[in-house]
């Protein structure tokens, strides 16, 4: 089987799929109850809307390779707009609707976007950003499925035509920026098509069947999971993407049931939330064959599968390269944070801080296509940031920043992000491991962990916790949490500092914004936190 789809653009594969699957449902809203009808679009419906939007863009005198920012929320219409842009050799800059006005302003200006497409839900927010920052940009609103101009800018049509190619930019997707300014990842037509294709050719427990799958995705469209990985998988196979507006524990199984989904995409944090809910008849899904995602806590993996009768297939991927690695075999390693081993299209290496190759030990994951064409299928670099691009690509390997373990058979096991490791008294501690254990506790709603500077140990484990019952914000509760954690964690991994809070800063993909955590603790104010650094020694 071929490893890549060569010499194709998004326009060419879209037209091919419309011709082959024209009456199949391509995009759909999630269905909320048995008798309701959810808005959906066939491949032919989408093609008609793409042609309509194409005529609109032509009147705007947009130039080939112009960037257009899009902020309409997690709705199927986002994909129709994106297809229309890409078919006209325009690049889509998906905007995260949860970002602050300053963050959105930064991305709009940094991306050099020529136009913003929004809807009435975000229109006033975008107007405020444009006015307060004096941004000269066109503004279009999606209303009743039509594009309507709100603000015009003078455009001069370029004389020279730029041909649409597989290497043309399709998207500029900004990373979440959990530790600083977000970086714009340049993604080509070739990248996006082959992200979906790499998913399609997976076998084992994944095995996407042509014209038979409905992939339910409640993750945000402005990131690669929903916006690229699952979207292009359904486009290439005549299947349907059910795009939910958000993850909701109360409606998750209902929407999957009523929409007759066969596959769903998940984040690991969804598992403890769903397991804590009371059992219901909606959990009994006939059509569902698997869940696909990342980060399920090891001790919850088998428990989740046993209760909900669905295999949870762990994967690894990132914006810079989302031809994912899946642990999709029938003999997969449940409850070990294993995300499988790569196929022939990808090579991996695990190295220590000195660049030495490591097996069965923690190290940073390096990836590439091969030694001759290391960057094939990867992003084209960080926009306006050559230094960051060169730093990520060193010695023909992409440095992922993820700490993993690789065993003798090539299987990979996730440990944590390199920047999230806590260094305490010579020990490298995974914040993800502690967070997972905290989330298992019945009294904990959500939690975040990072290192806090310490004069002896270098760093102490700091945990920010949201309790289900906020009245129990006491020192006794903090000590009780340590007692419960000590059953599964060695003493030095236990939080030495605990702060109870109302909420935890996260990105739209529910990644914790670690850079903001320490702003929530004032070491001079003892009422601001509980210092348990001496108490934890009781568990040595």
Kindly report, residue by residue over 45-68, the tens digit of the pLDDT. 999 999 999 999 999 889 999 999
Are the CB atoms for 145 and 121 separated by under 8 Å? no
CA-CA-CA-CA torsion sign (507, 509, 515, 518)? positive
Give 17-38 pLDDT, tens digit per residue.
999 999 999 999 999 887 778 8
Q: Evaluate if residue 494 carries a pLDDT over 60.
A: yes
Categorize the per-residue pLDDT at 515 as very low, low, confident or very high, splitting at 50, 70 and 90.
low
What's the pTM?
Answer: 0.85
Residue 29: burial class (beta carbons within 10 Å; 0-12, 13-18, 19+): buried
Task: Give the angle 522-524-527 at the CA atoms, nearest 5°.
Answer: 75
Q: Which among 204, 278, 199 has a CA at the least distance from the CA of 233?
A: 199
Nearest to 13 by CA among 236, 230, 231, 171: 236
Residue 75 has pLDDT above 70, yes or no: yes
Instruction: Name the token pair of 234.
Output: 């359904």
Position 370 scores a pLDDT of 97
Residue with tokens 């199949």: 24
Rounded distance between C-alpha atoms, residue 275 and residue 265, angstroms = 16
The pLDDT tens digits for 166-217 are 999 999 999 865 456 789 999 999 999 999 999 999 999 999 999 999 999 9
Domains of the chain, CATH where assigned: 37-182 (3.40.50.980), 425-539 (3.30.300.30)
Is pLDDT above 60 for 524? no
Rounded CA-CA distance 29/75 in Å is 7
């Amino acid at each position: 089987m071929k490893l890549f789809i060569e010499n194709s653009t998004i326009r060419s594969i879209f037209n091919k799929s419309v011709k082959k699957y024209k009456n199949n449902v391509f995009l759909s809203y999630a269905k909320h109850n048995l008798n309701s009808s959810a808005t959906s679009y066939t491949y032919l419906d989408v093609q008609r809307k793409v042609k309509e939007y194409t005529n609109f863009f032509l009147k705007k005198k947009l130039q080939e390779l112009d960037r257009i920012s899009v902020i309409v929320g997690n709705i199927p219409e986002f994909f129709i707009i994106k297809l229309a842009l890409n078919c006209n050799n325009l690049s889509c800059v998906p905007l995260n609707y949860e970002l602050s006005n300053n963050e959105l302003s930064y991305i709009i200006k940094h991306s050099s976007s020529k136009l913003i497409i929004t809807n009435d839900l975000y229109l006033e927010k975008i107007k405020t950003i444009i006015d307060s920052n004096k941004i000269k940009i066109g503004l279009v609103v999606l209303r009743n499925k039509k594009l309507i101009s709100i603000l015009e800018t003078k455009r001069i049509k370029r004389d020279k035509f730029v041909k649409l190619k597989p290497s043309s930019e399709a998207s500029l997707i900004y990373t979440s920026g959990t530790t600083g300014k977000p970086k714009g990842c340049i993604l080509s037509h070739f990248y996006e098509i082959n992200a979906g294709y790499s998913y399609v050719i997976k076998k084992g427990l994944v095995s996407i069947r042509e014209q038979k799958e409905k992939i339910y995705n409640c993750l945000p469209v402005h990131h690669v999971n929903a916006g690229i990985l699952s979207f292009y998988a359904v486009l290439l196979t005549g299947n349907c993407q059910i795009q939910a507006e958000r993850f909701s524990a109360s409606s998750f199984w209902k929407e999957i049931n009523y929409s007759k989904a066969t596959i769903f995409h998940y984040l690991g944090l969804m598992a403890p939330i769903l397991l804590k809910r009371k059992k219901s008849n909606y959990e009994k899904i006939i059509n569902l064959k698997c869940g696909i995602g990342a980060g399920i806590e090891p001790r919850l993996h088998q428990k989740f599968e046993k209760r909900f009768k669905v295999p949870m297939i762990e994967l690894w991927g990132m914006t810079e390269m989302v031809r994912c690695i899946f642990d999709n075999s029938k003999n997969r390693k449940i409850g070990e944070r294993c995300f499988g081993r790569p196929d022939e299209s990808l090579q991996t290496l695990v190295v220590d801080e000195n660049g030495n190759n490591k097996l069965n030990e923690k190290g940073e994951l390096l990836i590439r296509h091969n030694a001759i064409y290391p960057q094939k299928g990867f992003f084209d670099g960080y926009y306006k940031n050559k230094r960051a691009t060169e730093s990520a690509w060193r010695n023909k390997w992409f440095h992922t920043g993820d700490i993993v373990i690789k065993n003798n058979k090539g299987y990979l096991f996730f440990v944590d992000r390199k920047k999230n490791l806590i260094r305490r008294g010579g020990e490298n501690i995974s914040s993800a491991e502690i967070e997972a254990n905290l989330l298992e506790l019945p009294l904990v709603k959500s939690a975040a962990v990072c290192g806090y500077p310490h004069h002896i140990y270098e760093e102490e484990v700091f945990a920010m916790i949201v309790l289900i019952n906020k009245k129990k914000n006491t020192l006794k509760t903090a000590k009780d949490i340590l007692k419960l954690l000590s059953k599964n964690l060695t003493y030095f991994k236990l939080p030495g500092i605990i702060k109870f809070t109302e909420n935890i800063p996260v990105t739209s993909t529910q990644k914790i914004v670690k850079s903001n955590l320490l702003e929530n603790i004032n070491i001079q104010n003892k009422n601001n936190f509980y210092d348990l650094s001496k108490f934890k020694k009781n568990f040595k």
